[in-house]
Chain A
Amino acid sequence: MQGSLYLAWRYLRHHWIKSTILVASITLIIFLPLGVRVLILQSARHLTARAEATPLLVGMRGSPLELVLNSLYFGTGSPEALPYSDVDALDSMGLALPIPLYTRFRAQGYPIVGTSLDYFAFRDLTVSRGGMFAMLGECVLGTRVAEQMGLGPGDAVISSPESVFDIAGVYPLKMRVAGVLAFSDSPDDDAIFVDLKTAWVIGGFGHGHQDLAEASAASGVLRRDSTSITANAAVVQYNEIMPDNIASFHFHGDVGSFPVTAIIAVPPDQRSSTILRGRFEESSGAAQIVVPSDVMDELLGTVLTVQTFVLAAVVVLGMGTLATAGLVFGLSLRVRQRELMTMTKIGASPASIRWLVVSEMVVVSAAGVALAFLLTALTASFGPPVIRAVFL
């Protein structure tokens, strides 16, 4: 038996191209359906866990899926904004704690999430280094953002301009990093959090004024005399809120009209939740209320239906590949008839010859199965984060 295994191994090693193709075929036959299933189940678990942890979400009427994906996973699409007065209105109903979200801006590809401190308590997020933002212009970083940007407390991050050619548009804001959040294995690890007002400053709803009489503003002065100071035409590359200019920052207009992209509503009990949903459904206003887990279930229902079709196709493909692999093995045995006859003449029993052929099949199959399970394990570990990064 040991001799047969050794001969099988030597044969497969000598004909390594054929062996590799057979192993790859078996790996694909097993990995494709298994990997797809594991990937979908793992991704679904991650998606539904976040959605189930968010009781209700209020946003402008439109696609509930876009609202959920943007508000829970900070996807790139930005839903239409609600006025901040809706947050106050929701609060005054006394049926839920409103947590505003404003997710329009990005910094080096990472989403900037404007929110209130209630968000951190609601998501059970804690600061691992530094502290929470306390001042206009400060931010806290998700773990992965801090790791990948190599930033920590005291460093700075600048928001990305929406259009580099529009100097009158959204202006970059240099934000001081107040702290870094502890790892939560959620989309919060990949986000930059600021106070809602800081997000509004980035959006141009609030601004500061530079006092040209101050010595620090010398680079912006064109001419100065005893009666007047004339500013030059230099463009400031980014705004920065510092202790010496924070007092000059202010907002114009009614704060109630300022935008938020969504409101997380956290009702204290089921009854409040039901009443709140009823009020929104009866209302003919511009806002909608959605249950994120229902929206995700609907999405996953569609995904699982597609998965069934994909798996059916993969099984058919797998059977074809298996048949081809069997044919390759069969033809190979036919080519080796003379070799097997010599073995018989030398003294190998029919059982030894059978065992030799079975050994080759077992070695190839075992390698294919092991590789398929390894790939499945890797997919289970790294697939869901990749899916989140690519599709959300």
Chain B
Amino acid sequence: MIRVQELEFRYRRSDFVLRVAELEIADHERVAIVGPSGSGKTTLLNLFAGISTPDRGTVQTAAERISSMSDSARRRFRVQQIGLVFQEFELLDYLSVLDNILLPYFLSSALRLDDAVRTRARSLAADLEINDKLARNVANLSQGERQRVALCRALLPRPRLVLADEPTGNLDPSNKHRVVDLLLENTQAAGATLVAVTHDTEVAKRFDRVLDMAALQ
């Protein structure tokens, strides 16, 4: 679960302040965070992931107080426990689809790449209907296919928490619904908690709970 208490965060050289008095997200819950641009949705996700640390208060993610961890412990925790999906997919254009899915294993010593991981990557790719494109370069994929690769990369290390930052922001309507379906189905199948930031009320309605940033602050 995620538990936030008396959180305060401010960017240097900016007047913006994010304050969340209290917030709890239960295990396996699927939550959408909505709110206008600049309201701090992405900042909140970064605090959940331990990419940013609060100035005050605590963030507890998957039973660990991530806000009190050292940089290396937070990084290690993030690699093993959290899967990240970005609006712009953030795939590396010089790698194949399979190598993009395996990217966290190339980058971090906290994950061990072996044959079992490769097999699981292929199986996950089959679930996400991109198993016939594993050898292709990601630059040759459609937007929907690219987001599926990103989703596959996030789910491969079996995270307890998936954080998605506007995962459908760059997709056309048909791809948008397909990707949301896959996101919900696969995180549920993996037994992970899902928190997604979205502008799209239609997408938000598909989640168990919708958190409005205006109400949180």
Contacts and interface: CB of A to CB of B under 8 A. Distances in A.
Nearest to A346: B104
A349 B108 contact: yes
Contacts of B99: 10
Contacts of A342: 86, 90
Contact of A11 (B79, B94, B104, B108): B94
A388 B153 CA distance: 63
B171 interface: no
B119 interface: no
Interface string B131-146: 0000000000000000
Interface string B105-149: 111101101000000000000000000000000000000000000
B94 A3 contact: no
B84 interface: yes
A348 interface: yes
B159 to A, nearest CB: 11
A339 B103 CA distance: 12
B94 A15 contact: yes
Nearest to A341: B90
Nearest to A352: B107
A4 interface: yes
A11 B103 CA distance: 13
B49 A346 contact: no
Nearest to B99: A10
Interface string A1-45: 001101100110111000000000000000000000000000000
A107 B93 CA distance: 63
B75 to A, nearest CB: 6
A346 B51 contact: no
A150 interface: no
A252 interface: no
Interface in A141-193: none
A6 B99 CA distance: 10
A209 interface: no
A163 to B, nearest CB: 66
A347 B79 contact: yes
Which of B75, B79, B99, B107 has the most C-beta atoms of chain A within 10 angstroms of its own C-beta?
B107
B107 A348 contact: yes
Interface string B70-102: 001001101100001010001011110001000
Contacts of B49: 345
Contacts of A13: 94
A338 B86 CA distance: 12
Which of A343, A345, A348 has the most C-beta atoms of chain B within 10 angstroms of its own C-beta?
A345
A365 to B, nearest CB: 20
Given A3-B113, A345-B49, A14 B93 contact: yes
Nearest to B105: A3
B106 A347 contact: no
Contacts of A343: 103, 107
A331 to B, nearest CB: 17
Given A10-B95, A15-B94, A345 B108 contact: no
B94 A347 contact: no
Given A346-B79, A346-B104, A346-B107, A10 B51 contact: no
A3 B107 contact: yes
A105 B165 CA distance: 87
B95 A345 contact: no
A305 B70 CA distance: 62
B104 A347 contact: yes
A348 B86 CA distance: 16
A4 B106 contact: yes
Given A15-B94, A342-B86, A342-B90, A6 B75 contact: no
A345 B153 CA distance: 13
A345 B105 CA distance: 13
Contacts of A347: 75-76, 78-79, 104, 107-108, 110-111
Interface string B60-76: 00000000000010011
Interface string A108-143: 000000000000000000000000000000000000
A145 B51 CA distance: 76
Nearest to A3: B106
A346 B92 contact: no
A345 to B, nearest CB: 6
A141 B140 CA distance: 65
A25 to B, nearest CB: 21
Nearest to B111: A347
Nearest to A356: B107
A184 to B, nearest CB: 55
Contact of B106 (A7, A15, A339, A345): A7
A6 B78 contact: no
A349 B90 contact: no
B70 to A, nearest CB: 12
Contacts of B95: 7, 10
For the complex of A and B, the 7 pairs showing the least CB-CB separation, nearest first, are A3-B106, A347-B79, A14-B94, A348-B107, A342-B90, A347-B108, A11-B94
17 contacts: A3-B106, A3-B113, A6-B106, A7-B92, A10-B94, A10-B99, A15-B94, A338-B90, A346-B104, A346-B108, A346-B153, A347-B75, A347-B104, A347-B108, A347-B111, A348-B107, A349-B108
Interface of A: 3-4, 6-7, 10-11, 13-15, 338-339, 342-343, 345-349, 352
Given A6-B106, A346-B103, A347-B76, 19 more contacts: A3-B105, A3-B113, A7-B95, A7-B107, A10-B94, A10-B95, A14-B93, A14-B94, A343-B107, A345-B49, A345-B84, A346-B84, A346-B108, A347-B104, A347-B110, A348-B107, A349-B75, A349-B108, A352-B108
